[in-house]
Structure 1
Amino acid sequence: MKYKLFGSKTGLHASEIILGAANFGTRKGYGADPEESKKILTAYADAGGNFIDISDVYQFGEAEEIVGNFLEGQRSNFIICSKYTRSSDPNPAIGNFGNNRKSMRQAVEKTLKRLKTDYIDIYMPHYDDGVTPWEEIAMGLQDLVSEGKIVYAGLTNFPAWKVSAIGSAT
């Protein structure tokens, strides 16, 4: 496995191949069961992979549980990138989803518990919810960095023009 620096402003060495865990679990009626998921994770780790992409919404949180069980005793060997925006609950209460700080805080706490870890390497909103101002997202993510719950923050699935505007404003 080859490794590269993750971004131009970190010293984080990430494997060139990232393992996406969206189909770990079967709560949505499809996907790899926990045993098969563990085999995939083991093969990936044995090949030198160290970067796992996950989200709280994948299989309604089951994917995070599977990865959390796999990581026990070897957490420091992996880079975990998780995302939030939609709730892991199939029927969330109003206000318990989206990119607002309340939703972010609830989501990160649940993710930490499911992953059986006290920190997430990279954490980001899964997409632009069209409502939450970027300043609120930035403040919430910075709070999580300051608290040691996340190491790096980012954005994913945001329109390029919006990311450019955010970058210009900071």
Structure 2
Amino acid sequence: MEQRVAGRSGLVVSRLGLGTMTWGRDTDRDEATACLLAYVEAGGNLIDTADVYVDGESEKVVGRLLRTVVPRERMVIATKAVGRTGPGPMSRGASRGHLLAALDASLKRLGTDYIDLWQLHAWDPLVPLEETLAALDTAVSSGRVRYVGVSNYSGWQLTRAATIQQLQRSCAPIVTTQMEYSLLERGVEREVVPAARSLGVGVIAWSPLGRGVLTGKYRHGTPSDSRAASPHLGEFVRRYLGGDSTRIVEAVATAADGLGVSPLAIALAWVRDRPGVTSAILGARTAGQLQASLSIENLALPAEIYDALDEVAEPSFGYPERRR
């Protein structure tokens, strides 16, 4: 699998990452083991989790597998903090107290003494940004974290954080921003991607398959074993069912028929090769689903198909992003 440098840093990751949001709940240990082995065999090295995934169970499963199945040193572990992990006002947010406590808890669950990429899961308007960034510096200078990133930050939030770090000569510059990005969600192209490219920050795309909708599985209904039918992920998926999404999904299906590949392959290759994207996270629940995504490594979309999909799914632009 092709390896890419994350922004202007020394961190090198595979262009497809392994997501673990369902590990410990919908994906049991045996299935997670099969997923990890298939991913490593394909040449992948980036495994993405978070302290709030399945209330910490995802990190625990990742930790066990990196002690028993795949050597920890072969993988780049990316996890996140900011979300609520317990009761009380100091059990959530981007305060120094919560972040450093959450970091220690993640290290314990993962069974490692350092995290390769530690990401702020969300912007916290209640905490001074300088305090949050100082906590990142502490995490890196203590050796518990190698690199830091953010997730779900708007363009101005990313720019402000990176600018403060530059002015303060931070030892923990932001090297990645993890954002939802797919043919069904291109809002990041208005401000986030241009900001990231200007700042030398790599974009990690989460849900590159439009929460599963771009695979085409919902074209004729909702399968009973799908995420849309799940009590805990139903609303997460239903946002992209119907409306403009239908037109885009059909365009992807048409392109897939023309190339003799799956809609999944078309949608994933499109995001993977977008300007500024370092890696796209695969959120497969099963090893079978993951194998389908890993099989696209050698697929490069013809320019005419790439451009046609770009036009069909073009996000709305206007003032001030685009001036005539």
TM-score, normalised to structure 1's length? Answer: 0.91
Q: 2:28 aligns with which of 33, 50, 59?
A: 33
Of 111-120 and 158-167, the range deviating more from structure 2: 158-167
- Residue 165 of structure 1 deviates from its aligned partner by 2.2
Partners of 2:85 and 2:91 within 8 A in 1: no
Q: Secondary structure at 1:83's aligned position in 2?
A: strand
**Matching residue of 1:3:** 3
Amino acid of the residue matched to residue 108 of structure 2? K
**Cα distance in 1 between the residues matched to 2:52 and 2:162:** 27
Q: 2:155 aligns with which of 156, 160, 163?
A: 160
Number of residue pairs matched by the alignment: 163
- Residue 42 of structure 1 deviates from its aligned partner by 1.3
**Matching residue of 1:127:** 122
**Matching residue of 2:103:** 108
Amino acid of the residue matched to residue 20 of structure 2? A
Cα distance change of structure 1 residues 52 and 128 upon mapping to structure 2, 3 Å threshold: same
- Residue 49 of structure 1 deviates from its aligned partner by 0.7
**Matching residue of 1:61:** 56
**Cα distance in 2 between the residues matched to 1:166 and 1:40:** 35
Amino acid of the residue matched to residue 159 of structure 1? S
1:106-125 Cα shifts (integer Å, max 9, x gaps): 11011001110000011121
Q: 1:82 aligns with which of 53, 75, 79?
A: 79
Partners of 1:58 and 1:88 within 8 A in 2: no
- Residue 6 of structure 1 deviates from its aligned partner by 1.7
**Cα distance in 2 between the residues matched to 1:107 and 1:67:** 17
Q: 2:40 aligns with which of 45, 50, 63?
A: 45
Seq. identity, %: 35
In our comparison, the structure showing a higher alpha carbon Rg is 2
Q: Secondary structure at 1:98's aligned position in 2?
A: coil
1:78-113 Cα shifts (integer Å, max 9, x gaps): 111110111334xx2221111101110111011001
Amino acid of the residue matched to residue 75 of structure 2? F
**Matching residue of 1:147:** 142
**Cα distance in 1 between the residues matched to 2:13 and 2:162:** 24
- Residue 75 of structure 1 deviates from its aligned partner by 0.9
- Residue 7 of structure 1 deviates from its aligned partner by 1.5
Of 120-129 and 68-77, the range deviating more from structure 2: 68-77
Aligned-residue RMSD, C-alpha: 1.3
- Residue 159 of structure 1 deviates from its aligned partner by 1.4
TM-score, normalised to structure 2's length? Answer: 0.49
**Cα distance in 1 between the residues matched to 2:3 and 2:31:** 26
1:51-77 Cα shifts (integer Å, max 9, x gaps): 011100000000000100111161111
Q: Secondary structure at 1:165's aligned position in 2?
A: helix
**Matching residue of 1:14:** 13
**Cα distance in 2 between the residues matched to 1:41 and 1:124:** 21
Q: 2:133 aligns with which of 138, 157, 162?
A: 138
**Would you identify which runs of 4 or more consecutive aligned residues in structure 1 move more than 6 Å?**
none
- Residue 167 of structure 1 deviates from its aligned partner by 2.8
